Structure 1
Amino acid sequence: MTSRGPEKRVRKAPAERRSEMVTAAARVGLAEGLECVTLRRVADELGVRPGLVGHYFPAADRLVAEAFTSATLAELDGLLPELPAGPGPDSGPGVAVRALRRLFSLTSSADFDDVSRLWLNARHLARYRPVLREHVVEQDLLWCRRIERVVATGVAAGDFRCADPWASAVRIHVAIDGTSAYVNTGVGHRAAPIADMARTLAEAELGLASGALGPH
């Protein structure tokens, strides 16, 4: 009978290890708040030493910022997948309407609460964490550009009437963000008119009838 020695630890590639740390930090941020994202907390999540996390992230603020970006990028891709550029089967009439209808349905549900709380949390912390502030601004712009693409697609298809897709996209994004701030202060705010604010603003911005972007 042969004895087996201790198993050799598998060394992960630096990019894989770093990504693993950011993902763990995003998980902590969503569940407990970005204030709880520390080198030690992430190390505990992964079962490694804090020094290893510190090797990849000497400054905890960088880890916090990247955790926020990781979580919000996943949120954006889930809520509003990017529409393809140029003409095609996914850019014709009705495509932009369906994209926004789906967006408002998802953002008005309780499933959106964790990530909307993360946005509120990040905006507060960004006041005195410059690295995080840069990431928040970058994600704001990414959200607005994604909405602008949908609006422009709808205008080109004849679904929307809008003179300035960028301005409308900014106002829609701010309305979604503002609505989430109220909803997170109490479940009573999930009812109309607060819960419908972003959707009704979008309908007015895009020349649509009331309820056009509601559930169908």
Structure 2
Amino acid sequence: MSAVESAASRPALRYGERRTALLAAAVRVGAEQGLRNLTYRAVAREAGVAHGLVAHHFGTRDALLEEALQYSLAKSVPAISARPGSGDLDALFEGIVEMVQTLPHDLAFQYELILESRRRPELRPHVQSLYRTFEQALADELACGEMDLDQDFVHLIFAALDGLVFQQLSIADPERTDAALAHLRTLLALAGHRST
């Protein structure tokens, strides 16, 4: 079934649902076709609406990109812990493999943005915001467990997590990813003992 046939078979969206549907469509287009193909027409086709509706809701392509990033982050950042705010190391990263399986478009969209920022420096603030958001969520979760780790160590832990997520998204080896995440939690536990 083509994208046009798929869009035609979808029920009409109510006004309040349109913006969210457009953001989800933008994430899917960016993930599947790359950011260079993230156009009003492509998003509208994916969402099954007129392309003027995309312009109406977002005004500019940059605004669409920024809001699509925030939409994808709102869905993926909470997966840092299975029990947010608990500081429980056993819960940390527990849902990562499942997140990659359930949110592949959101994560692929984020990686597409990261890679495109190498070619288009004007996108780097978006990438910096993405990394700051994830690292701050990780730092906050660690602080809930009374782990006082410096920013460089949090950056290191997030870089390891980011690499594991990328590999899981690319090659889907959940057992290996889970084993590596267990070692990452052990490292954090050891660092936590040293910081107290």
TM-score normalized with structure 2 length:
0.69
| Residue number in structure 2 paired with 1:182 | 167
| Residue number in structure 1 paired with 2:29 | 28
Query: How large is the RMSD of aligned CA atoms in angstroms?
Result: 3.5
1:141-160 correspondence to structure 2 within 5 Å: 141-155=132-146
What displacement does 1:190 show?
5.2
SS in structure 2 opposite 1:48? coil
Equivalent pairs, count: 180
2:73·2:130 contact (CA, 8 Å) conserved in 1? yes
SS in structure 2 opposite 1:148? helix
* Mapped pair 1:102 → 2:94: yes
What displacement does 1:25 show?
1.3
| Structure 1: unaligned runs, 5 residues or longer | 1-9, 85-90, 156-161, 209-216
| Residue number in structure 1 paired with 2:67 | 66
| Residue number in structure 2 paired with 1:4 | none
CA distance in 1 between counterparts of 2:178 and 2:81 reads 18
Q: 1:63 to 1:27 in 2, by over 3 A?
A: same
What displacement does 1:129 show?
3.6
1:22·1:66 contact (CA, 8 Å) conserved in 2? yes
CA distance in 2 between counterparts of 1:112 and 1:21 reads 16
TM-score normalized with structure 1 length:
0.64
CA distance in 1 between counterparts of 2:134 and 2:31 reads 19
What displacement does 1:11 show?
8.9
| Residue number in structure 2 paired with 1:196 | 179
* Mapped pair 1:205 → 2:188: yes
Greater fraction of residues in helix: 2
CA distance in 1 between counterparts of 2:58 and 2:105 reads 25
| Structure 2: unaligned runs, 5 residues or longer | 1-12, 192-196
SS in structure 1 opposite 2:49? coil
2:66·2:126 contact (CA, 8 Å) conserved in 1? yes
CA distance in 2 between counterparts of 1:136 and 1:201 reads 24
| Sequence identity percentage | 25
- 1:144 is matched by which residue type in structure 2? E
1:99·1:150 contact (CA, 8 Å) conserved in 2? no
| Residue number in structure 2 paired with 1:44 | 45
